[in-house]
Amino acid sequence: MTTSNKKIVFETKGFCPICEKNVLFSAKREWFRDFLLCSGCGSIPRERALMYVIKTFYPNYKSLKIHETSPCNRGASPKLKKECPSYSASQYFPDLNPGEVHPEQGFRNENLECMTFPDESFDLFISQDVMEHIFEPQRAFRELSRVLKPGGAHIFTVPLINKANPSECWAARKDTGEIEYHYEPEYHGNPIDDRGALVTMHWGYDIADFIQKEAGTPTTIVMIDSIELGIRAEYIEVLVSRKP
């Protein structure tokens, strides 16, 4: 339902999969991906979609060993931290030693391209809009498979900008460490760095084939459109890569 209120362009009642309440979903801008907010927890559509998929595919998630890279301070991240006794989280701090805990932020330092976790450490590995910022995604997906237990899964969101068109590399790292830009540099918000996070990939639906080829983990792309759950926007697919 659209309103004549100049501050609100859309609002509707529904049920939030994260705060699990009857709420009001409203947006002050037409770009729902970042602005269709839940009145209960402030979550956005891709976060609600992620939580819905976790619940659907792994209804016993509360008892599982879960790790999340680059968690958010709203949405699914605080919910998982609160509900799951075996939840842990990390960020990537280039200036810290691998596996070291940041003295102020309290997060363990982990680079997805080369993690310090032992093999088969986790039942679920969660990432939210991270895989478009990795310089060597083939290494990262192999590492994610390595640290998953058999039957475990990497459940994640990533904007599939290219859709049915081939994925494109937007920025690469040379052997010298310098960055080579293939297109105009693009940055997304970064919770631990005001400079933002450089976009390295514009993924398409072929990401599933890429992951299968590089990491051997069959990947399902879950597309949800449910305004009743506040899950409606562009680029809110949730991917589930399961380790055989």
Residues 6 or more apart from 46 whose CB is under 8 A from it? 33, 128, 129, 157, 233, 235, 236, 238
The Cβ of residue 185 has, within 10 Å, a number of other Cβ atoms equal to: 12
Please identify every stretch of the chain with a pLDDT value under 50, giving residue numbers as ranges: 1-4
- Quick one: which of 155, 138, 124 has its CA closest to 238? 155
Q: Which amino acid is at 125?
A: F
> Given this model, what pLDDT does residue 188 score?
85
Structural domain boundaries of the chain? 44-242
Return d(Cα 84, Cα 104) in angstroms, integer. 24
Where do runs of H (alpha helix) occur along 36-95? 45-57, 76-83
One of 3.40.50.720, 2.40.30.40, 3.40.50.150, 3.40.50.970 is the CATH number of 44-242, namely: 3.40.50.150
> Given this model, what pLDDT does residue 3 score?
41
- Quick one: which of 114, 120, 123, 109 has its CA closest to 143? 114
> Given this model, what pLDDT does residue 4 score?
46
> Given this model, what pLDDT does residue 147 score?
98
> Given this model, what pLDDT does residue 189 score?
74
> Given this model, what pLDDT does residue 196 score?
79
